DNA sequence: ATGTAC
């Protein structure tokens, strides 16, 4: 946990936003610096959820000029968070009741919901030549996937003082979004948070890129870059549609209507201006700070925070943490936790919430112990002047995978 | 992360 690089520029173009309480592996910081040395990269930022990935770090943002790197975005193009307010009231339900209502949400999307999504699915397939057939994309729609993806029901534990409109000065739409979301917050409501991405599509797009160009990336003014950006845009739309489909099927199971509050991707590359230069911001597990309020989830056994990005985010490539960030490698979790916890014990969390996960390996890999403390991540963002807190949520039920019980 | 790939 060498934190000597935190809080100050450790190299000309690298900055890490993390206080001394945050778990930070030297390896993750090393990956950040190595990646920052790629040609055309002008600035790199590590957020407090920074952790090591396969080659490139997660919880990081990179600004490049004249060139872009599909491999930096990774295989789950468009992965992100969608937050809905349900019609349920927290005091009238319980984790056990919610678990019973939800049952298993595996398998293809109910026909009516698929039909509802079909026009947008057809449109995004029409707008870009994609490496997967439309039928496969339809088949994956409404599926959560594996890894750290989930759908979670939460109660609002605390509302903080309402903001007074001093969000980023150049972001009227963001300020409007903040006002609208704050007006929709009901302390009694149950909320639905969906974390998922573009399923097989983003991976197929990246695979084709790596096969054609390795990790060298693409010069911005080339047909190849335009081709990738078209596919990338389709993947962003597909991931968003997938989160909406997941939310709709969960709401249907809960027999509730829902109000969408936000949908924000944290894996993407977008045109941006930084230091007066036109270029691209690559976000790899980094939440954009220029689209209004965002939700930063803790682990399934921890709180989640709705925050308003502040103007100080300009120094962080307009990026924020996308969650708590892993502390332990997936491959270490079983060995560390199996001696202390039976799988069945991991189906309950310290906050009293229930975990639906009928995949034993995943139950251990995604245990709260494998993640950083969310309060250390949020404190880092607050201390750096990057966010203001809007609300704090407590998990009631985290749904990872249904089907036959594993324990 | 993945309708994984070794």
Give the CATH number, domain containing residue A305.
3.90.1860.10
Quick check: A108 CB within 7 A of strand B?
no
- Cα–Cα distance between A181 and A293 in angstroms, integer? 8
Task: Establish whether the CB of A136 is closer than 7 Å to any nucleic acid atom in strand B.
Answer: yes
In this complex, the nucleotide whose C1' atom is nearest to the CA atom of residue A58 is B1
* Helix residue ranges, H only, A263-346: 330-337
Q: Which nucleotide is nearest to A53 (CA to C1')?
A: B1
Which nucleotide's C1' atom has the smallest distance to the CA of A54?
B1
Average pLDDT of A165-189?
82
Categorize the per-residue pLDDT at A10 as very low, low, confident or very high, splitting at 50, 70 and 90.
very low
Instruction: Please indicate, yes or no, if residue A8 is contained in any of the structural domains.
Output: no
Task: For residue A318, give Cα distances in angstroms to A66, A67, A91, A183, A289.
Answer: 19, 19, 37, 24, 5
Is A170 a residue whose pLDDT tops 60? no
For β-strands A354-357 and A387-401, DSSP reports them as: parallel
Report whether A345 contacts A388 (CB < 8 A): no
* Cα–Cα distance, A40 to A278 (Å, whole number): 12
Is A3 part of a structural domain of the chain? Answer: no
The whole-number average pLDDT for the span A180-190 is 96
Residue A157 has pLDDT above 90, yes or no: yes
Tell me: is residue A91 an annotated ligand-binding position: no
The answer on whether A332 is annotated among ligand-binding residues is no
Nearest protein residue to nucleotide B1, judged by CA and C1' positions:
A76
| Token duo for residue A378 | 């949020």
pLDDT value of position A2: 42
Nucleotides of B under 7 A from a protein CB: 1-5
Q: How close are the terminal C-alpha atoms of chain A, in Å?
A: 35
Given a cut of 90, is residue A15 above it in pLDDT? yes
Q: Integer distance in angstroms from CA A265 to C1' B1?
A: 15
Report the alpha-carbon distance of residue A180 to residue A187 in Å, rounded.
15
| 48-77 of chain A touching strand B, CB 7 A cut-off | 54, 75-76
How far is C-alpha A158 from the geometric centre of its chain's CA atoms?
22
Q: What percentage of residues in chain A have a pLDDT greater than 90? A: 92
Mean pLDDT of chain A: 94
Q: What is the mean pLDDT of residues A298-320?
A: 97
Give the catalytic positions of A in this structure.
Answer: 322
Structural domain count of chain A: 1
Mean pLDDT of A41-65: 97
Coarse DSSP helix, strand, coil percentages of chain A, rounded to the nearest 5 percent? 35, 30, 35
With 0-12 / 13-18 / 19 or more C-beta atoms within 10 angstroms meaning exposed / middle / buried, residue A269 is buried
| For the segment 187-206 of chain A, residues whose CB is within 7 A of strand B | 196-197, 199-200, 203
Report the distance separating Cα A391 and Cα A389, nearest Å. 6
Mean pLDDT over A45-62 rounds to: 97
List CB contacts of A212: < 8 A, sequence separation 6 or more.
A224
d(CA A290, CA A240): 18
Which of residues 142 to 161 on A have a Cβ less than 7 angstroms from any strand B atom? 143, 145-149
In a domain, A7, yes or no: no
Q: Which nucleotide is nearest to A242 (CA to C1')?
A: B1
Q: How far apart are CA A52 and CA A59, in angstroms?
A: 9
**Helix intervals (H) in A314-373:** 330-337, 360-365
Q: Across residues A316-339, what is the average pLDDT?
A: 96
Asked whether residue A3 carries a pLDDT value surpassing 60, the answer given is: no
The pLDDT score that the predictor gives to residue A9 is 45
Residue A7: pLDDT band with limits 50, 70, 90: very low
Per-residue pLDDT band at A134 (split at 50, 70, 90): very high
Q: A84-118: string of b/e by CB count within 10 Å (b at 16+)?
A: bbbebebeebebeebbebbeebeeebbeebbeebe
Under DSSP, the state recorded for A34 is: H
Give the CA A239 to C1' B2 distance in Å: 14
Q: Read off the pLDDT band of A407 (50, 70, 90).
A: confident
**pLDDT category, A346, cuts 50, 70, 90?**
very high
A266 is in an annotated binding site: yes
**Tell me, in Å, how far CA of A8 is from C1' of B3?**
44
Distance A118 CA to B4 C1' (A): 27
Q: Does residue A407 lie within any of the structural domains?
A: no
Task: Identify the three-state secondary structure at position A123.
Answer: helix
Task: List the A137 CA – B2 C1' distance (angstroms).
Answer: 14
Note whether residue A280 is domain-resident. Answer: yes
Q: Give the residue among A4, A6, A2 at the shortest CA–CA distance from A46.
A: A6
Average pLDDT of span A382-394: 98
Tokens 């872009």 correspond to what residue?
A: A68
Closest residue (CA to C1') to nucleotide B2 in the complex: A200
> How far does the CA of A187 sit from the C1' of B5, in Å?
47
Average confidence (pLDDT) over A353-364: 96
The answer to whether residue A5 is domain-embedded is no
Shortest CA to C1' contact from A365: nucleotide: B1
Q: How many CA atoms lie within 13 A of A194 on its CB side?
A: 34
User: What share of chain A in percent tops pLDDT 70?
Assistant: 95
Which residue in A43, A40, A72 sits closest to A58, CA to CA?
A: A72
pLDDT over 80 (residue A164)? no
Query: Does a structural domain hold residue A1?
Result: no
Residue A19 has pLDDT above 70, yes or no: yes
Q: Are strands A319-321 and A354-357 parallel, antiparallel or unpaired?
A: unpaired
- Alpha-carbon distance of A71 to A10, in angstroms, equals 24
pLDDT given for residue A135 in this prediction: 95
For chain A, the C-alpha Rg in angstroms (whole number) is 20
Domain range for A187 is: 14-161+171-401
């Amino acid at each position: 946990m060498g934190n000597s690089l935190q809080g100050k520029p450790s190299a000309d173009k690298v900055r890490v936003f993390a206080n001394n309480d945050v778990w930070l592996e030297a390896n993750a910081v090393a990956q950040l610096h190595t990646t920052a040395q790629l040609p055309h990269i002008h600035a790199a930022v590590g957020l407090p959820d920074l952790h090591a990935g396969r080659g490139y770090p997660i919880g990081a943002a990179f600004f490049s000029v004249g060139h872009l790197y599909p491999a930096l975005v990774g295989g789950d193009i468009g992965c992100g968070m969608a937050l809905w307010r349900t019609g349920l009231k927290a005091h009238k339900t319980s984790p056990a009741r919610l678990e019973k209502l939800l049952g298993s949400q595996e398998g293809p999307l109910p026909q009516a919901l698929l039909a509802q999504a079909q026009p947008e699915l057809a449109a995004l397939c029409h707008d870009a030549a994609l490496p997967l057939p439309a039928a496969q994309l339809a088949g994956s729609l409404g599926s959560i996937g594996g890894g750290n993806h989930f759908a979670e029901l939460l109660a609002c534990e605390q509302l903080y003082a309402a903001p007074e409109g001093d969000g980023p000065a150049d972001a009227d739409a963001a300020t409007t979004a903040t006002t609208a979301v704050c007006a929709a917050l009901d302390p009694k409501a149950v909320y639905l948070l969906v974390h998922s991405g573009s399923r097989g599509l983003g991976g197929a797009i990246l695979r084709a890129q790596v096969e054609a160009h390795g990790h060298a990336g693409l010069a911005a003014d080339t047909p190849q870059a335009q081709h990738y950006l078209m596919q990338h845009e389709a993947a962003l739309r597909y991931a968003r549609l997938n989160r909406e489909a997941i939310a709709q099927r969960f709401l249907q199971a809960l027999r509730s209507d829902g109000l969408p509050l936000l949908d924000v991707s944290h894996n993407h590359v977008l045109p941006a201006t930084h230091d007066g230069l036109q270029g691209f911001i690559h976000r790899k597990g980094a939440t954009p700070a220029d689209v209004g309020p965002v939700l930063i989830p803790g682990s399934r056994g921890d709180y989640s925070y709705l925050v308003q990005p502040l103007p100080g985010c300009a120094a962080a490539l307009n990026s924020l943490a996308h969650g708590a960030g892993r502390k332990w490698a997936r491959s270490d979790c079983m060995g560390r936790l199996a001696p202390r916890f039976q799988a069945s014990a991991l189906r309950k969390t310290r906050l009293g919430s229930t975990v639906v996960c009928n995949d034993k390996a995943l139950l251990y890999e995604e245990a709260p112990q494998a993640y950083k403390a969310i309060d250390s991540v949020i404190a880092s963002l607050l201390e750096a002047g990057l966010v203001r807190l809007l609300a704090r949520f407590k998990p009631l039920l985290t749904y990872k995978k249904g089907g036959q019980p594993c324990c």
